Amino acid sequence: MKKKVFFLKRQTLFRWSHVYMGMIGFFSLIIFLLNWKLGILAFMIFVTLIIIHINHIIQYRNSMTEYLKNLHGTIHSAENNMLLTFPFPYAILDMEGRIQWYNPKFESLVSQKQIFHREIGHILPEFDVVHFPTEPDEIWVKHFEYNERHYKAFTQRMLQADEEEKESLYILYLLDETQNIELKAQKIRQQTLVSLIYIDNYEEVMQSLEEVRRPLLVALIDRKLNALAGEVEGIIKKFERDKYLLLFPHQHLKLLEERRFEILDIVREIHIGNDLPVTLSIGIGVKGKDLPQSMDYARAAIDLALGRGGDQAVIKNTDKYSFYGGKTKEVEKSTRVKARIKAYALKELIEESERVLIMGHKGPDVDSLGAAMGVYRGATLLNKKAHIVLNETTTSIQALYDKLKESQDYEEDLFVSSVQAIGLSGEKTLLIIVDVNRPSYVECPELLELSKNIVVFDHHRTSVEFIQNAVLSYVEPYASSTCEMITEILQYMVDKVKLRPLEADALFAGITVDTKNFSIKTGVRTFEAAAFLRRHGADSTRVKMFFQNDMASYRARASAVKDAEIYRDDIAISLCPSDIPNPALTAAQAADELLNISGITASFVMSSMDHQVLMSARSLGDINVQLIMEKLGGGGHLTVAGAQFKNTTVDEVRQQLKQAIKEYLEEENRG
């Protein structure tokens, strides 16, 4: 280092000496012009200095050359020593992946002798030369596990420029990541998870229990949840009479998953005279960057659990959801407080808007159109212009649609297409979604992006895909139909509701079709809504005419029932003929019909339509068809569900269905 500094200083000195020599030569010339005798003497002195200066330059260059030679040798020696003493496993491979050189660390890693000229794939099976980089500047990175340790491999192509024909070699070196991975895993295990636990049916259970027993029931629930907190080394805090906050380390989440959240079953089995079982909804936030974000994840998870009917646990891991439970039927809420609050909020939103767009799902049914007509009447009573977004009609709504178009009570622009709706959208336009909560299923998905104010009314269980930017969301899986929900909403929106007979028929028809003529998913509020509609002019005879089938559809339904395959003794799987106007509707009717056969507990009927396969699933309650359909990308309710399949055949869908049923039954047996 000292020698290097010396050479640098000497190089700087020589630069200035050139300047000095030039100045001496210049002054010698001036002296010669003034006095030639003194000028000759000055010139001789100048020549002497030049000779001495050149001599010093030659010596400096010779010294520098020698220094660079020594430095090159030192560097070359250091490079060789570095390759041998490199602290990481290091190897050089030829283009075929054969080892040409390796350091002791690499030999120690593989714990093998005589590996020279052996292919790297025979020593480290995770490596294949076909994946190695093709360009010199490219680096191929691979993470792998070897001898219970984790490594990160870097491979780079190197050109040998000193050959006449440039040859290529691969440089491979490995970094041991085991400690970093273990630290990350430890950090995750020690991360605090936020869990929200809600009692789904607190009011209903308490009303079914004697007053003196209610404190005992609450104490038993608290005791079970405190025991859960002790098992996971967490802390639990009750912040409302039916809501709890649980904090626990991430490492115990696996225990809860392995037990499939048995706390749901434990609490459900508490019986001290209550007519209804107690059910819980659990939402857990995982991998939030901090506690506030974990709390946001937990809130999103609990909202999804409640939207799916409760009695289940939902884990939100960033953008991924996991579901556990959800085996019981939804319990009807006896109170209408929530409906009244939602009605007031909807009223304010409508009054603040210039116009209202109402949209259902693709392939609309009577429940979708009936609910849309109910919302239309509510907006009209508030003196707001309203339109229903509808592109194409289906067989199931054709009769009702024709009646609405023929009626003189409605304007020509009652129904608008997607293109027209997009033109009507804006900041002052309120978009109301009915009978659907999945963005991909709505009639015009583009409206969701263009609309600032969105309201959702639906009775289907929410899935991972749901409309997240709604300013008002009312999703109640316990409700028989969206028409039932809208009928309740209308009673609180205005003081005196005035429904036209056709609107009452539409709402009554929606309830009728979704309850299978008031035979399933009916509760007190269902019949109260039906009674309200009857008082406002709904006629069951006119409604029945909306559901009349032609002879072709009736024969197709009979054919689907006749050709049904009995799977696992009590499950019917069939295919509906596609040469009819609306095979999807007929398939749903066939699925309902199959449940009337003795010994059948669940039915699945497929139909082919518009280059896709549609499936309708029904059950009597012993089998949760919603969970089966969710495995296939669909959803619905415990007893009524469905799914859509694109770019596939009926036979492939049939095999996927059987696999999903098999997985569901295995999970039920484990649970």
Query: Which tokens is 540 given?
Result: 């069951």
**Is residue 349 within 8 Å of residue 455, measured between CB atoms?**
yes
The string of DSSP letters for 203-215 reads HHHHHTS-GGGHH
**Are the beta carbons of 480 and 514 closer than 8 angstroms?**
yes
- What is the CATH topology of the domain spanning 192-325? Alpha-Beta Plaits (3.30.70)
Residue 45, classed as helix, strand or coil, is: helix
Tell me, letter by letter, the H, E, C secondary structure of 95-126.
CCCEEEEECHHHHHHHCCCCCCCCEHHHHCCC
Tens digits of residue pLDDT in 476-516: 888 889 999 999 999 988 878 889 999 999 999 999 988 88
Instruction: State phi, psi for 553 to the nearest 5 degrees.
Output: -65, -40
Homologous superfamily of 90-183: PAS domain (3.30.450.20)
Q: What pLDDT is attached to residue 45?
A: 79
pLDDT of residue 333: 60
Contacts of 35 (CB under 8 A, 6+ apart): none
> Is domain 556-670 annotated with CATH 3.30.360.10?
no
Gyration radius of the chain over CA positions? 40
Distance between CA atoms of residues 55 and 75, nearest Å: 30
**Would you list the domain boundaries of the chain?**
2-85, 90-183, 192-325, 337-545, 556-670
Residue-level pLDDT at 163: 45
Is the pTM above the cut of 0.75? no
Phi first, then psi, for residue 222 (nearest 5°) are -60, -40
Task: Identify the burial level of 254 via C-beta atoms within 10 angstroms of its C-beta, where 0-12 means exposed, 13-18 middle and 19 or more buried.
Answer: exposed
SS (H, E, C) 507-573: HHHHHHHHCCCCCCCCCHHHHHHHHHHHHCCCCHHHHHHCCCCCHHHHHHHHHHHHCCEEECCCEEE
Contact 575, 560 (CB under 8 A): yes
pLDDT at residue 170, rounded to an integer: 84
Q: Tell me what pLDDT residue 4 has.
A: 47
Q: Give the per-residue pLDDT at 2.
A: 46
CA angle 384, 386, 392 (to 5 degrees): 180
State the pLDDT at residue 314.
92
The whole-angstrom separation of Cα 155 and Cα 134 is: 11
pLDDT beneath 70: ranges in the chain: 1-18, 20, 60, 64-65, 67-86, 160-167, 327-335, 671
How far apart (Å, rounded) are the C-alpha atoms in residues 485 and 300? 23
pLDDT of residue 164: 44
Helix (H) or strand (E) holding 81: helix 36-85
42, 46, 47, 49 alpha-carbon torsion, rounded to 10°: 140
Which pLDDT does position 143 carry in this prediction?
A: 85
337-545, CATH topology level: inorganic pyrophosphatase (n-terminal core) (3.90.1640)
Contacts of 513 (CB under 8 A, 6+ apart): 365, 366, 367, 396, 481, 547
